[in-house]
Structure 1
Amino acid sequence: MIIYILFLGSGLTGLIYQVLWTRLLTLTFGVTTLAISTVLTCFFGGLALGSFLGGRWVDKRGRGFKWYGYAEIIIGIYALLFLWILGLNNDVYVLIARGMNLGFYGQNIIKFVLSIIILIIPATMMGATLPILSKELAGKWSSFAKDIGNLYTVNTVGAVAGAVLTAYLLIPSFGIKAIIITVGLINIAIGVVALLVDRAAAPGKDDALGSELLEGTHIMSSVVTGVGEMVPARFSTIILFGFALSGFTALAYEVIWSRVLTLILTGTIFAFAAVLAVFLTGIAVGSFVVSRYIDRVKNFSIVINTLAVVEILIGVSSIAIIILYSKMPEFSFYGSITGARDWGEYVYVNFLISFLVLFVPTFLFGTTFPLVCKIYNSRMDHVGESIGNVYSINTVGGIIGSFMGGFVLIQFFGMQTSMVLMGVINVLIGIVFLLTNPFGKKKTGYVLSSLGAALVVFVILILPDNMPRAIHESYIMEGEKILFYEEGPAATVMIAHRPGRSLVFSDTRLWVNGNLATAAYYEGLQINRFQGALPMVLHPDPKDILVICFGTGTTFGTLSQFDVDGVDNVEIARTVTHGAPFFKSENSDVLNNPKSNIIIDDGRSYLEVTNKKYDVITEEPMHPALVGVVNLYTVEYYELAKSHLKEGGIMSQWIPLYALSVDDLKMLTATFQSVFEHTTIWIANADIFLIGSSEKQSVNYDRIKERLAKPNIKRIMGEIDLEDPIEFVSTFLMNEDAVREYASGAPLVTDNMPLVEFTGPRSLSVNTIS
């Protein structure tokens, strides 16, 4: 029992580390798909290495709870030092990236190397814990699967708790730094308890528990000399390779399913936590259930066939849920995501939808680990090596699957086809296991293989034509038509148009990952053009401009119409820029303007590595309640942006009034003004604009009048009724003293305490504009 309790704690702390360390590293590296994949690849690579080495280590040195204790203490000590190490890591990255002008690929190679350096030690220790404890706990072949399944289950249950607690309680209550330090102390405590338990254990236990060999009619010979020899070596290789492919599909599914669910669930931190928690819960329950059944099976052929059938069912169910995804907007509870009556309903529906679509395939995935361990292990004195091999090969497959899912499958095949391809791979894995089963009857293998193949073909034939597009069609209004749809590594983009409503405006809307980003009808056009014009008429002589986020390109295009030397635009998702031609009249065909320059990168990451300074920086990201967006609303980000402003430079920040509480608005305002002491507020429709500078601002009416009078500026501002300088100035809302009084006492949004990401979602279904 003490082993289970401690390993539950290991699972909890491990998931917390994964979430928080990834979050901190991507503050500097960026939240691009490539940056996140780089960090996770290094983390999971460490797990695989630790499992591989840990199993061999514990087999050579004999049973001993102490090795687990030492690993946990090392993890804990590293966690206590992590923030200091992270600071050095970030300084090295910025120094290299700024000094060497490495370009896109060079920067990502540096990110990969530095991620390995910072994560390899703790991740390797984490990976070693499962084979070490397997050696300690698995005492009899007759209960081997149950013992391993219990370990895997309690560790995964701990990870579920870590996922939920991190999102719903820990970060908004205590902040990231305090959590890492506390969790590090918990790891040290776990390690100390393990050492004490090991010291108190009776001597001589290694000799008593290491000698039991396999029993049963399936033993190939009377002498078993090595791992995997209870079955032919060829079949052992097939099992490991198949399990690697299964790991490949599992992580590819996770990437693809998460992307699909962002189209159904609003992409908040709580939605992602629900998806992760349900994914891990399915794995935990599957492992728990099958580990209680498989040890009672005396016919080893049935164990192998069970694994094969499970793989076939994973493939079939993972393809079949495409139908469920496409029908989701028709369910009565679907509207509760955006129209929840209260916070409790919002949370409930997130978990309900995640459970409906994910539980069956993840349950089946959870059954595979105990089954493969039972098949692959042949000697109880080589448990560590066996479990290490199984876990590490599956993890390596998962690393490749995660990378391929984000960068190859979705981009080149789309979400639906990618899910079908992964499902077919799982079915083929099962068929290969059936046909190569060395203890099974060939007739049984042929029959089950044929049934599996027929079932997957049938499911594929009844699939909808394009499930993600069908989900998007539920967003649009009557008479609205989809003009553009593209699935890319970082975003799924849809542009829809409703003709005939206006003679002046195109009434075209842009959706990014299921969220309405902006629109080209009057209100949207007014906000975007005003965002571009405002800092340009306030700054005395703006020449070098930076725009963070692209959207329809309207703000970018407005800025390029002024007398400037150049305008840089940083956009995280290249797919978004592909929609620019559909807004050509609104964005002044900005992509063909020689003054404009598109940079595909995370806005914050770009500022970390560039040496360039600007007269004006303007940003209009997605709503701050959406996951990851808060990185562009923190004190540290504004300090970084301020360091890239020239003397007298201006920072312009868009803040929505919709779906944002008064407390959150004050918090965001206070955060901005804490860096830009001289802050004013301007308003257009249901949005405000914070204008910040290091110097006291003044509104020069003559300058505004002169710049608005230029023919091209007058034309584009006239379309939104702001070409008159008096009308333009009337958008002024608060001077810096009023701003200071309004935001007084509000907490600040920081990298350590990104509060608005956790408070913001509570207002998404509330009418806050009034």
Structure 2
Amino acid sequence: MRDIRRGAMVTVFGLFFLSGFSALVLQVVWMRELSLLFGATAQAAAATLAAFFLGLAAGSAYWGRRSRRITRPLRSYALLEVGVLVAGLGYFLLAPAFAAQYGTLYSHLAEPAPGLLVGIKLLLALVLLSPAALFMGGTLPVLSAWLVRHPAALGRLVPLLYGVNTAGAAIGALSAAFLLPPILGYDGSYLLALALAGGIALSAWWLGGRGSAQMLEGVQASPPQVPAVALAAEALPQAWLRGLAFLSGFVALALEVLWTRMFAQVLQNSVYSYAVILVVFLLALAAGSFVAGWLARRRLPVVPTLVGLLCGAALLVALTPQLFFWLTDGLGYLGAGRDWPDYLRTLGLAAVAILAGPTLVLGVVFPYLWKAAEAGARSPGEQVGGLLALNTLGAILGSLAAGFLLLEWLGLWRAIQWLAGLYLAAAMLLTTLAVAPAAAGLCARPWLAPMLVLAPVLGFLLLLSALDAGRLPVVRTDSVQRAETLLEAREGGAGTVAVVRRGEHLGIKVDNHYTLGSTRGHGLQQRQAHFPLLLHPAPDRVFFLGMGTGITAGAALAHPVKEVVVAELLGDVIDLAAEYFRPYANGLFEDPQVRLLAEDGRHHLGATDEAYDVIIGDLFVPWKRGNAALYSLEHFQHVAERLAPGGLFAQWVPLYQVTAQELGSIARTFTAVFPHVTLWRGDFLPEGPIVALVGRLDAAPLEPAAVLRRARALRADAVAGDARGPQDSVLPDPDTPPLLLYYAGNLGRAADLLAGYPLNTDDRPRLQFSAARAQRAEAAGRRGWLVGEPLIDFFRSVLAAAPVADAPYLARLAPQQRQAVPAGLDIFAASLADAQGDAEGAQALLARASRALTANAPGNPDTGDGDSGNRDAGDRGPGDLDPGRLRRDLEALRAERDAAIKALEQRIERLQGG
């Protein structure tokens, strides 16, 4: 019978482990889905998190009070899991209805009343998440009522139960990042978690039946044989218990936010990297709960133990910035050059080395309070629920304070130091209110009281001297080799934004290594606006998804536009760009035609009812957390809905961070929404190229006369510093638009090339998972990006699948003008040949391009047959053309390539791992 009872207890603990697993998977899916609905801003994330934790806190308090009247706790626990299941299914019904109405609220409140809109997001999140969270919050108090018969056993058993549930949550976090969504998708993962909750409910209901009740009765712990006077001497007043429970939640969640921001300075920052940090954090908290239960069984005096825990946690927390700075070699990129398994191993070891110790001690403090609460008069469930509710409320305020106050007021390092100081202050108060001497007397150790008073004092001295983190730099700069100087840095919950001067150029970067742009590639960044706008006959309203330095968006003002709307996720980026990049942004920050939104661009397009003639997506690296959603089917559908009649959408893709597999997935997803898609090169740099997917809903052909007219106007009024390409000397025909040299093909008519690639959707964001792995494989040299010869082969395959001669999009071009397309590919190939040291081959390719463009030009004696673009480079040597002109062409090509290399230098350096 004893073995049966032990087995039943293990079963219940196993069910609670699975409950933690299920709850974390549900939380991950909820947070992600609501970030798509409300936007990925820090304010929206905070509203969602606060709603979830408020539900947990309310559930803990409510079910804790009710536990006194519960006669069959296991069956009540089963009903709570049923509540989670039903509320979770209700989310599926309510969320689409909310999404349908949310756009109206956003359109009316986003700009005039952003604070009110955040409040509405919180209210909506409460309605969606609180029912399930209310039931989740009651599970620990109700199970504690089953497990603990007498309050004197709280400290020995409840931490074990709490730790098992937290360990389940850690494994749930791991599965929600590495296993479930890649296999099942987010909807499938969600349904699996709900099914798991249902299975837990059925099992707990059976265990709580009449036949099982007698068998399980002996499982409940009887009170330990401790004299009542001893319990009274160890008791903490309820006010202290509540205050420490609140403080523990506040500090723990604030540190989770700060430590996540700390690691973001040196990581790949994909969904996997964040998951590793979260898993280490949760596992360490779980281990802390087990240690708390072990300490409770040791019969140590409560108050001195708490003082020691608070002081130890404070010093270990204060040590994390120094240790982090040392292990990352001064904020260097973590795991540079390592492949996927080695990168994860490096990250995991670093997270364990830096976070495991302090988090474990932090994780002891709160569960150990149940030991201090054993002498209270409350029932076990009520005591557990009350403290858990206060701990959760502290967690809400801690996460909000860290993200919105501490980082901005104190900065990352000082904020960590300040939180360590809070624990030392709590320890000092414990020792000065005449509580510690009584506990010391109980132990018959008269020397213990002065030591307890001295410990926090020494802690403060260390915090202000050897462990002072305020001296550490916020941003890594290289003043020796790169002549870098930090001009300004701003820290916030969404990232650390810095402006850096390198030589004579300015750059803006986020989270230490990720460069948004610089003045070095001024002209090339302008092209990202010029090319799409030239393709539209009359662009009045333009939307930019992403801003960076503002150089690209500012270039739109050189066109006859009436309004330019720019959405940038980070408000600090807007502020710093306006302060430092104003001379390069063509009046972007002064022009009344411009609206700058500190907003998630995808969210804005999905919620607004405004229509735009041209929408331009910035270069988004697919592996970066959240960026896969900007290449998803649902996002492209939102964009299509926001296009005015005849409008177009241009999404730039950084091929220097994309494999053929990722580009195929992006292109197939893009063509699934837009029936007419053309592909355009952004430069002639085969080792660091960008391309634009330009989608339309109609079949309007290119108007060469309009493009040429506006291109000439742009050239006449060009912004100083605009890069000039080889088309300036290669194109002899004054009626051929230079833009045609960048045309790479019609993907809409080359659908067979894309048929084998998977769609990237919100439910199955394949790009999010595959791109992160590909980035590490490339860094280790085991896989290459779509650059160089493979890219040229891809361009050739697109032109072969959709020949230029019968392309409807080019129907209004003369046959001679169409020769610019293969000529542009030859120029691109010449750039690669020259970069590889083959100057002769580069000149031959340029000669073929020149012949193709001059074969039928007016007044040219060599009329040819119009198909010279298909001839071999060896048909005629470069000597048939003016050698001096070919040299000038090659020099122009090199100049463009060098300019692009400089512009991309910092970005590639960051993205490929430093």
Q: State if a TM-score over 0.5 links the two structures.
A: yes
Q: Distance in 2 between matches of 1:475 and 1:659?
A: 27
Give the equivalent residue in structure 1 for 2:323: 324
Give the equivalent residue in structure 2 for 1:458: 462
Q: Is the 8 A contact 1:55 1:132 kept in 2?
A: yes
**1:152 is the counterpart of 2:162:** yes
Q: Is the 8 A contact 1:278 1:358 kept in 2?
A: yes
Give the equivalent residue in structure 1 for 2:897: none
**1:106 is the counterpart of 2:110:** no
Give the equivalent residue in structure 2 for 1:37: 46
AA in 1 matched with 2:677:
T
Partner deviation per Cα, 1:633-684 (whole Å, 9 max, x = no partner)? 1111111111111000111111111232211111011111111111111112
Counterpart pick for 1:631 among 623, 629, 632: 629
AA in 2 matched with 1:552:
T
Give the equivalent residue in structure 2 for 1:258: 260
Give the equivalent residue in structure 2 for 1:226: none
Q: Is the 8 A contact 2:424 2:459 kept in 1?
A: no
Q: Distance in 1 between matches of 2:362 and 2:337?
A: 34
The structural deviation recorded for 1:248 is 0.8
Q: Distance in 1 between matches of 2:512 and 2:700?
A: 39
Structure 1 segment 267-666 matched on structure 2, within 5 A: 267-297=269-299, 302-330=301-329, 337-340=335-338, 342-378=339-375, 382-436=379-433, 437=435, 439-441=438-440, 444-463=448-467, 466=470, 469-473=473-477, 478-499=482-503, 506-520=504-518, 522=520, 524-580=521-577, 581-620=579-618, 622-666=620-664
Q: Is the 8 A contact 1:312 1:431 kept in 2?
A: no
Give the equivalent residue in structure 2 for 1:693: 696
Partner deviation per Cα, 1:380-407 (whole Å, 9 max, x = no partner)? 9700000001111011001001111111
- C-alpha change, 1:445 and 1:240, in structure 2 (3 Å) is farther
SS in 2 for 1:330: coil
AA in 2 matched with 1:330:
D
**1:177 is the counterpart of 2:164:** no
Counterpart pick for 1:94 among 94, 103, 107: 103
AA in 2 matched with 1:90:
A
AA in 1 matched with 2:539:
P
Mean Cα deviation higher: 478-487 or 418-427: 478-487
Give the equivalent residue in structure 1 for 2:226: 215
The structural deviation recorded for 1:475 is 10
SS in 2 for 1:175: helix
Counterpart pick for 2:172 among 157, 162, 186: 162
The structural deviation recorded for 1:142 is 6.3
SS in 2 for 1:481: strand
Q: Distance in 2 between matches of 1:208 and 1:730?
A: 79
CA RMSD across the alignment: 2.6
The structural deviation recorded for 1:441 is 3.8
Q: Is the 8 A contact 1:416 1:468 kept in 2?
A: yes
Q: Is the 8 A contact 2:155 2:372 kept in 1?
A: no
Q: Is the 8 A contact 2:155 2:369 kept in 1?
A: no
Q: Is the 8 A contact 1:10 1:155 kept in 2?
A: yes
Runs of 5+ consecutive residues of structure 1 not aligned to the other structure: 222-228, 500-505
Counterpart pick for 1:125 among 117, 120, 135: 135
Q: Distance in 1 between matches of 2:534 and 2:480?
A: 36
Counterpart pick for 1:198 among 180, 194, 208: 208
The structural deviation recorded for 1:230 is 7.7
The structural deviation recorded for 1:548 is 1.1
Mean Cα deviation higher: 738-747 or 685-694: 738-747
Q: Distance in 1 between matches of 2:461 and 2:54?
A: 35
- C-alpha change, 1:381 and 1:246, in structure 2 (3 Å) is closer
- C-alpha change, 1:461 and 1:208, in structure 2 (3 Å) is closer
Give the equivalent residue in structure 1 for 2:244: 242
Runs of 5+ consecutive residues of structure 2 not aligned to the other structure: 1-9, 442-446, 729-735, 779-783, 789-914
Give the equivalent residue in structure 1 for 2:760: 749
Q: Using the aligned pairs only, state the percent identity.
A: 25
The structural deviation recorded for 1:214 is 7.8
The structural deviation recorded for 1:188 is 0.6
Mean Cα deviation higher: 120-129 or 240-249: 240-249
Q: Is the 8 A contact 1:615 1:648 kept in 2?
A: yes
Q: Distance in 2 between matches of 1:654 and 1:172?
A: 26
Mean Cα deviation higher: 115-124 or 428-437: 428-437
SS in 2 for 1:702: helix
Structure 1 segment 724-763 matched on structure 2, within 5 A: 724=728, 726-737=737-748, 739-763=750-774
TM-score (norm 1): 0.92
Mean Cα deviation higher: 586-595 or 242-251: 586-595
Q: Is the 8 A contact 1:495 1:511 kept in 2?
A: yes
The structural deviation recorded for 1:713 is 6.6
Counterpart pick for 1:56 among 58, 65, 71: 65
Q: Is the 8 A contact 2:146 2:220 kept in 1?
A: no
More relative contact order, 1 or 2 (CA 8 Å, 6+ apart): 1
TM-score (norm 2): 0.78
Give the equivalent residue in structure 2 for 1:502: none
Q: Is the 8 A contact 2:151 2:379 kept in 1?
A: no
Q: Is the 8 A contact 2:494 2:570 kept in 1?
A: yes
SS in 1 for 2:59: helix
Mean Cα deviation higher: 172-181 or 446-455: 446-455
AA in 2 matched with 1:327:
W
Q: Distance in 1 between matches of 2:108 and 2:306?
A: 53
AA in 1 matched with 2:571:
R
- C-alpha change, 1:750 and 1:698, in structure 2 (3 Å) is same
The structural deviation recorded for 1:217 is 5.0
